């Protein structure tokens, strides 16, 4: 049975409560596609409400902890050693279009170290979670990163910069290098789930640029606790600061770093 710390139990309960409302919202999207208000306003409301529910639930059980939130920014707590990092809907565009590939992502930092994390897709009821030093799990099943070590055999995930986002030229050059050297490439639109799927061995690797801490914090811990390696694109531990990330297993890490750097 997986080890669940008191803090992780609280995080899971909060995610499940917020997820129930998201499932209802997801079911309403078809009607909203033709409404005068429009789906974008509805998704913004769903984002804000989900974040509010998570903050309320976590504050009730862990008063004094700080927060770093996608919608509301940073909230300092009395307890300077603990901080929750939350993305209420990672994969908002998927959610908006009725695609069930989105997740609630919650991580807990203790003295600037990631100690607990979860990525929860409420539509599929897939709860990925990890506790530092105790492994990573999907529901009750232990996760391990894939064991492949040849670039020609691997399936790689990434995220493409969309309208208004920087880094498109870098991405296209990196994409060309990866597609030419690997078995396949996927772009599913939720970085937290891409990292969770890397931890589960569904993807062999994931890379992306210009992400935010709430996109990757929980996923970083999942991959590491599943036996993988996560660095920035310089091979360092700066992902949370720079937003550039590569997650994979040990044999593939150096070859993929070199491949991404080899672009013209």
Domain 6-142 CATH (choose: 3.30.750.24, 3.30.540.10, 3.40.50.300, 3.90.1200.10): 3.30.540.10
What is the rounded average pLDDT for all residues in the chain? 92
Q: What is the pLDDT of residue 30?
A: 60
32 has pLDDT over 70 = no
Cβ count within 10 A of residue 156: 26
- Measure Cα distances from 172 to 151, 160, 176, 190 in Å: 19, 8, 6, 19
Q: What is the pLDDT of residues 5-19, one digit of tens each?
A: 999 999 999 999 999
CA gap 50, 118 in Å, rounded:
15
Q: What is the pLDDT of residue 35?
A: 45
Provide the CATH number for the domain formed by 151-261 in this structure: 3.40.190.80
Which residues fall within 8 angstroms of residue 254, CB to CB, at 6 or more apart?
none
The torsion of the CA quartet 164, 169, 173, 179, rounded to 10 degrees, works out to 20
Q: What is the pLDDT of residues 142-160, one digit of tens each?
A: 999 999 999 999 999 999 8
171 has pLDDT over 80 = yes
134 has pLDDT over 50 = yes
Q: What is the pLDDT of residue 36?
A: 44
Q: What is the pLDDT of residue 51?
A: 95
95 has pLDDT over 60 = yes
Instruction: Output phi, psi for 262, to 5 deg.
Output: -85, -5
Q: What is the pLDDT of residue 124?
A: 97
DSSP 3-state percent helix, strand, coil across the chain (nearest 5) = 40, 25, 35
Domain ranges for the chain, please list them.
6-142, 151-261
Q: What is the pLDDT of residues 236-255, one digit of tens each?
A: 999 999 999 999 999 999 99
State the pTM of this model: 0.94
The encoded tokens of residue 115 equal: 């100690």
235 has pLDDT over 50 = yes
Give the pairing type, strands 141-142 and 136-138. antiparallel
Q: Can you tell me the mean pLDDT for 113-140?
A: 97
Q: What is the pLDDT of residue 34?
A: 40
Note the Cα 202 to chain centre separation in Å. Answer: 15
Listed range (94-108, 115-129, 130-144, 154-168) with the worst mean pLDDT: 154-168
Q: 10-23 b/e with 16+ CB inside 10 Å = b? A: bbbebbbebbeebe
The encoded tokens of residue 79 equal: 């307890």
| Closest-CA residue to 199 (of 256, 101, 130) | 130
Q: What is the pLDDT of residue 31?
A: 61
CA gap 10, 83 in Å, rounded:
14
């Amino acid at each position: 049975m997986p080890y669940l710390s008191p803090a992780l139990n609280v995080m899971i309960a909060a995610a499940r409560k917020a997820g129930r409302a998201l499932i209802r919202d997801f079911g309403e999207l078809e009607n909203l596609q033709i409404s005068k208000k429009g789906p974008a306003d509805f998704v913004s409301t769903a984002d804000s409400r989900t974040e509010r529910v998570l903050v309320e639930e976590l504050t009730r059980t862990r008063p004094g902890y700080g927060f770093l939130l996608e919608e509301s920014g940073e909230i300092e707590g009395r307890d300077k050693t603990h901080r929750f990092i939350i993305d209420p809907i990672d994969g908002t565009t998927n959610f908006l279009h009725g695609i069930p590939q989105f997740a609630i992502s919650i991580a807990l930092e203790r003295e600037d170290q990631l100690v607990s994390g979860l990525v929860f897709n409420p539509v599929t009821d897939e709860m990925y979670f990890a506790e530092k030093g105790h492994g990573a799990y999907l529901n009750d099943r232990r996760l391990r990163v894939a064991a492949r070590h040849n670039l020609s055999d691997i399936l790689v995930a990434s995220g493409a910069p969309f309208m208004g986002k920087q880094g498109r030229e870098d991405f296209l050059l990196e994409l060309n290098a990866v597609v030419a050297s690997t078995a396949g490439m996927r772009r599913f639109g939720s970085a937290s789930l891409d990292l969770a799927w890397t931890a589960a061995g569904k993807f062999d690797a994931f890379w992306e640029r210009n992400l935010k801490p709430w996109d990757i914090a929980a996923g970083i811990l999942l991959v590491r606790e599943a036996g993988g390696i996560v660095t920035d694109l310089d091979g360092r531990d700066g992902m949370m600061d720079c937003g550039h990330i590569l997650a994979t297993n040990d044999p593939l890490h150096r070859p993929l770093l070199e491949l991404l750097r080899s672009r013209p």
